[in-house]
Amino acid sequence: MGYKIIFLSLFMTIFWSHPSMGQDREIQFNIYFNHDQFTLEADQRTRLDSLLALPDKERYDVHINGFTNDIGPAQYNLELSRKRAEHVKKIMRAFTIISSIGKGELESEAATNRRVEIIFHPKSMHVAMSGEIIEPPMIAKPNIDLVQRFAMPKVGEKIALEGILFYPDQDVIMDQSKEVLEQLVSLLNAHRGLKFKIMGHICCGDPERPGMDVINTRTGQQDLSYARARSVYLYLLKKGIDRKRMRFMGMAYRFPTGQGDEFDRRVEIEITGINEPTFEALEEQAPSNTLKKDSIER
């Protein structure tokens, strides 16, 4: 299986980089799931990385069809196939999705039937079908200008960083988040005496155990909200924001918004102090080319 993944990744890299190939061709392939599971293992997730790395994602359509083998009741298998298609759709939301569907069971117990079929092509090749559902790309766009919105910041005020996206179930920040992160850097540079904490939140938690975090599939650690807050912290540190101004923490599911998953899954900044910096402090906050090891504890 490992050789197949390496070959597919190499093939897709050549395919999409060649001017006469990737721009006018369709590819179709399968990714596979463990028995009775609807989330991908790391080796299968890797098979999507070449697509996720493509520029100009708005040029492409993705068709996603979920399947199961015929072990288990038909209605259960239909729902499992739907969950598999939905899981892959979440990963591919930077593209236009055409009718992500769970199609139920295939007639055999073969492990190869526990799969999602992906059809990927340029929009110019799409043939419209009756009843299809088209979901446009989910692209992060900041809804506010942070510098203008927080021209007079106050202690205790919270800044919801709308527009920061992470890869599903990971702490890796997506490229579409750059604009709002740069706005945050501008805000922090405009108020150099401002101290704050970065708080990561998750959706879909257990209301009876709100402090329980979920798995970060990149590392296998059960600390996703903490890891996402730390990713923002490291981004700001790299941009020259003084580590003494920042704290970060994972809030897990302690503060759901009541507005649904998309609002619960978020990163917030809370202002904890505002001091007028001295000239020496400004000198210390000058950007450095050296990224020191993070010393903040959980």
Topology given in CATH for the domain delimited by 146-284: 60s Ribosomal Protein L30; Chain: A; (3.30.1330)
Assess whether pLDDT exceeds 60 at residue 105.
yes
Residue spans of the domains in the chain: they are 2-135, 146-284
Mean pLDDT across the chain, nearest whole number?
A: 81
Are 247 and 256 spatial neighbours (Cβ–Cβ below 8 Å)? no
A 10 A CB-CB count for 182 gives 14
Q: What integer is the mean pLDDT of 12-27?
A: 55
DSSP of 171-185, one letter per residue? -PBPGGGHHHHHHHH
**Nearest 10 degrees: Cα torsion 213, 50, 95, 263:** 10
pLDDT of residue 139: 61
Among 63, 129, 124, residue whose Cα is nearest residue 99: 63
pLDDT of residue 249: 95
Q: Helix, strand or coil for residue 43?
A: helix
| CB hemisphere CA count around 196 (13 angstroms) | 28
Q: What is the pTM of this model?
A: 0.53
Q: Where are the beta strands (DSSP E) in 123-193?
A: 134-135, 158-160
Q: What integer is the mean pLDDT of 45-64?
A: 84
Assess whether pLDDT exceeds 70 at residue 152.
yes
pLDDT of residue 293: 39
> Which range (59-68, 132-141, 237-246) has the least confidence?
132-141
pLDDT of residue 292: 39
Length of the chain as a residue count = 298
pLDDT above 90: percentage of residues in the chain:
39
> Which tokens sit at 55?
């520029």
To 5 degrees, how large is the angle CA 159–CA 268–CA 237? 100
Residues 6+ apart with CB under 8 A from 42: 217
pLDDT of residue 71: 92
pLDDT of residue 196: 94
The reply to whether 2-135 and 146-284 are identical in fold is yes
Per-residue pLDDT of 208-225, as tens digits, reads 888 999 899 889 999 999
pLDDT of residue 279: 45
> Which range (51-55, 79-83, 257-261) has the least confidence?
257-261
Q: How far apart are CA 230 and CA 224, in angstroms?
A: 10
Assess whether pLDDT exceeds 50 at residue 36.
yes
The CA–CA distances, whole Å, from 250 to 86, 198, 214 equal 26, 8, 11
Topology given in CATH for the domain delimited by 2-135: 60s Ribosomal Protein L30; Chain: A; (3.30.1330)
